[in-house]
Amino acid sequence: MNDVAATLSTLRQLPPLRWLVSLLHRVGLRGRNAVIALPYLWLVLFFVIPFVIVLKISFAEMQTSSPPYTSLIHWVGDKLTDLRVHLNPSNYLGIWADGIYTQAMLTSLKVAVISTLLALLIGYPMAYAIARADTRWRGMCLMMVILPFWTSFLLRVYAWIGILKTNGLLNNFLLWLGVINEPIVMLQTDFAVYLGIVYSYLPFMIMPLYATLEKMDLTLLEAAEDLGCKPMRAFFTITVPLSMPGIIAGSMLVFIPAVGEYVIPTLLGPADSLMIGKLLWTDFFTQRDWPKASAVAIALLLVLIVPLVWFQRRQAHATEAGQQ
Amino acid sequence: MPSSALDSACVRKPWNDPQAEPYIRIERVTKRFGDFVAVNDVSLNIYRTELFCLLGGSGCGKTTLLRMLAGFEEPSSGKIFIDGLDMSGIPPYERPVNMMFQSYALFPHMSVEQNVAFGLKMEHKAKSEIADRVASMLKLVRLSEFGKRKPHQLSGGQRQRVALARALIKQPKLLLLDEPLGALDKKLREHTQFELVNIQEQLGVTFVVVTHDQEEAMTLASRIGVMDHGKIVQVGTPKDIYEFPNSKFVAEFIGSVNLFEGQLVTDEPDHVRIACAELERPVYVAHGISAAPNAKVWVAIRPEKIQLSLQPPSDNHNWTRGVVKEIAYMGDMSVFLVKLASGKQLRITRPNMWRHDDENLTWEQEVFLHWHDTSPVVFTA
């Protein structure tokens, strides 16, 4: 410990670090403040600044040049008062006017909601089983849940094509079993999209659920039983409410990426499927309409963030009310 | 010995009444966890409206026995009858029993009212009835103002009372309490002890309490069952257990005791004489014991039953000499540690009856220790 402290203090004396430290000190960042500032710095660098850039582009106009959008700020003269800001709302108005975006958004939301519910239905029993399993097995089970991450996401989705296609593994297996007489069309259906999303995001549902279920006090269930509550009812009146934080966290982790999902519907879904992620891709890369695509991205963000913030505030109010 | 079966107060001491029907009958119950025998061939009768304490150190099987009464564990062999009904295979939610957990196990997502109402809700009682009974139960445990709070907003003592109210709301005939006062501080404990006894008498419920705290057991219990290594070693009233322990283990476990190894010299029906190497004079006990001549025995004398004096006693038995090594003044009484010539250290307590102590015993003073011939308890080793 002393060695580390000594090394650190020597390091601090070196010119570039010394300047940095004194600069940070001057703006009031020292000790604990500096530690708290780190995550904020991260958020500003990798979330706020990119967000502002996208927001800026969404109010610009498309043009065939590099970059492919107009600047928002124009100088009409040399003085500071000659600065003109030109905001172009037509991208957003266009989204409204063109029904295809609203339709795609609704389809995406529907797919995300159904996938989240399916992931919850499949993930909850799995998380429950792992949390209640013998301690010896838990580590191994969790390992198996996250093992697919060792392979690339794209590869795993591709692998499903091989399984689901008309001449694929699953059809051949079912034919061999004699369950079906001719291949079923599974690839390029909504079923394949749900399957792909649930398969890909299931670990994100299981992990937070496991975390809350694992730390639950099991004597609460004994207390419930002791008061005349049958095990099934105890599950719904005690276990489920107490695992609500895990249910919410897991559902968010599945729902949010599922809404904007591009890869899975493109590879597994019907060719004509209208999902917001696919539209976004087309706008950016095929049409090269960056302002329109940015506006779609911002609209998507608002659709996700606004209900979330509302929900969180309501939760906070409920907790506060409970404390009085 | 304990009061006779002809005692006129045998209504309040049903264990002395051969006609009395026990409310709980534990018949040769054994519980094994793998190779470990947690409860070993225990038989026990507990009567209606008793406050029975299972007392023992950690790992003695007392909690396992309680959990078998509640139905959380099934006996490996033997049977448990509650109110004459065989409890084998009956799940906890169908037993006429409620339990107060050591950790209280209050539902953290429910308010105090919802916690207390839980048992009635499971019985699908009418809303108005539930509200009335919850209100009166909260009044009983003096928590009427706290009904809307969540458990984490309560103090330890308040949580304990919520747990009690929740366990009592279904008006069980039998309430099981696992270390009910374990999590409370000393002041609150003493207060709560009396409150528990009060509520128990008021409602006429049979209580079975598990505790490792002998003081708690002494104040609460109508009878105590002392457990050791999965077996019940003695059952009796607190007074029986303290004054007439049946083994060295019980004598040492309950309260403190001075123990001497000795050899039986004379064994008559009305008295025995025992030679103890550690004591200067023989021990004379005013009742007979049945043991082999010259048998090795243990003599136990409680600290408060030994008197200190500066003059030598006139008898030629039941006394010895020593030097005061430690004096601990505790207010209501003082504790003396006296070292004998043999090197053995004795513990003696005596009440501080006068504000000015004439004797003024002090460190390194030579004192005589003597006791009455009914005070020693003799165990054959």
Residue A131 and residue A124 in contact, taking contact as beta carbons nearer than 8 Å: no
Residue A14 domain flag: yes
Interface test with B, best of A212, A217, A225, A227 (most B CBs within 10 A): A227
Residue B150 and residue A322 in contact, taking contact as beta carbons nearer than 8 Å: yes
Which candidate, B244, B234, B241, places its Cα nearest to that of B220? B241
With CB atoms and an 8 Å threshold, state whether B101 touches A227.
Answer: no
The vertex-A154 CA angle with A152 and A157, nearest 5°, equals 110
DSSP state of A237: I
Quick one: A62 and A12 in the same domain? yes
Number of cross-chain residue pairs from A and B with Cβ atoms under 8 Å apart: 60
Residue A234 domain flag: yes
Residues from A contacting B (CB-CB < 8 Å) are 217, 219-220, 222-230, 233, 238, 241-242, 322-323
Which of B72, B108, B118 lies at the smallest CB-CB distance from A227?
Answer: B118
Asked whether residue A5 carries a pLDDT value surpassing 80, the answer given is no
Asked whether residue A315 carries a pLDDT value surpassing 70, the answer given is yes
Task: Calculate the alpha carbon distances from B297 to A195, B194, B259, B273 in Å.
Answer: 80, 39, 10, 11
Residue of B nearest to A243 (CA): B109
Quick one: A34 and A104 in the same domain? no
Quick one: A156 and A286 in the same domain? yes
pLDDT in tens, B280-291: 889 999 887 877
Residue A130 domain flag: yes
Task: Please tell me the distance from the alpha carbon of residue A125 to that of residue A128, in angstroms, as a whole number.
Answer: 5
The whole-model pTM stands at 0.80
Q: Where are the alpha helices (DSSP H) in A179-289?
A: 190-214, 219-226, 231-234, 240-242, 244-259, 263-268, 276-281
Quick one: A41 and A125 in the same domain? no
Query: What's the pLDDT at A319?
Result: 66
Q: Give the number of other CB atoms < 10 A from CB of residue A252.
A: 17
Residue A72 domain flag: yes
Which of A220, A228, A323 lies at the smallest CB-CB distance from B170?
Answer: A228
Quick one: A52 and A100 in the same domain? no
Residue of B nearest to A223 (CA): B105
Number of structural domains found in chain A: 2
Quick one: A152 and A297 in the same domain? yes
Q: Give the number of other CB atoms < 10 A from CB of residue B106.
A: 24
Quick one: A158 and A59 in the same domain? no
The partner residues of B52 in beta bridges, in order of sequence, read: B208, B223
pLDDT in tens, A152-177: 999 999 999 999 998 899 999 999 99
> Please, which pLDDT band fits residue A1 given cuts at 50, 70 and 90?
low
Quick one: A80 and A136 in the same domain? no
Task: Please tell me the distance from the alpha carbon of residue A216 to that of residue A297, in angstroms, as a whole number.
Answer: 39
CATH number for the domain harbouring residue A262: 1.10.3720.10
B134: contact with A, CB 8 A cutoff = no
Residue B300 and residue B285 in contact, taking contact as beta carbons nearer than 8 Å: no
- Tell me the three state secondary structure of residue B155: coil
Domains along the sequence of chain B with CATH: 14-96+172-251 (3.40.50.300), 256-380 (2.40.50.140)
**Tens of pLDDT, residue by residue, chain B (381 residues):** 444 434 443 446 888 888 888 999 999 999 999 999 999 999 999 999 899 999 999 889 999 999 999 999 999 999 999 999 999 999 999 999 999 999 999 999 999 999 999 999 999 999 999 999 999 999 988 899 999 999 999 998 899 999 999 999 998 989 999 998 877 788 888 888 888 888 888 888 999 999 998 888 998 899 999 999 999 999 999 999 999 999 999 999 998 999 999 998 888 888 889 999 899 889 999 887 877 778 889 999 999 999 999 888 888 899 999 999 999 999 899 999 999 999 999 999 999 888 877 677 889 999 999 999 999 999 986
Residue A136 domain flag: yes
Quick one: A65 and A101 in the same domain? no
pLDDT in tens, B174-193: 999 999 887 778 888 888 88
- Tell me the three state secondary structure of residue B377: strand
How far, rounded to the nearest angstrom, does the alpha carbon of residue A215 sit from its chain's CA centroid?
Answer: 25
Of A56, A85, A114, at which residue does a domain stop? A85
Task: Please tell me the distance from the alpha carbon of residue A234 to that of residue A242, in angstroms, as a whole number.
Answer: 11
pLDDT in tens, A106-130: 999 999 999 999 999 999 999 999 9
Two structure tokens written together for A64: 């065939």
Quick one: A140 and A259 in the same domain? yes
The answer, yes or no, to whether the previous bond of B172 is cis (omega within 30 of 0) is no
- Domain membership of residue A140 as a residue range: 96-323
Q: How many helices (H) and strands (E) does chain A have?
A: 17, 2
Phi/psi at B301 (nearest 5 deg)?
-130, 130
Q: Enumerate the residues of chain A whose CB falls inside 8 A of the CB of residue B91.
A: 225
pLDDT in tens, A66-75: 888 888 877 7
Residues 6 or more apart whose Cβ sits within 8 Å of residue A214: A130, A131, A138
Residue A90 domain flag: no
Quick one: A68 and A126 in the same domain? no
Residue of A nearest to B168 (CA): A227
pLDDT in tens, B353-366: 888 776 778 899 99
Of A42, A66, A85, at which residue does a domain stop? A85
Residue A224 domain flag: yes
Quick one: A81 and A108 in the same domain? no
Residue A91 domain flag: no
Of A85, A115, A130, at which residue does a domain stop? A85
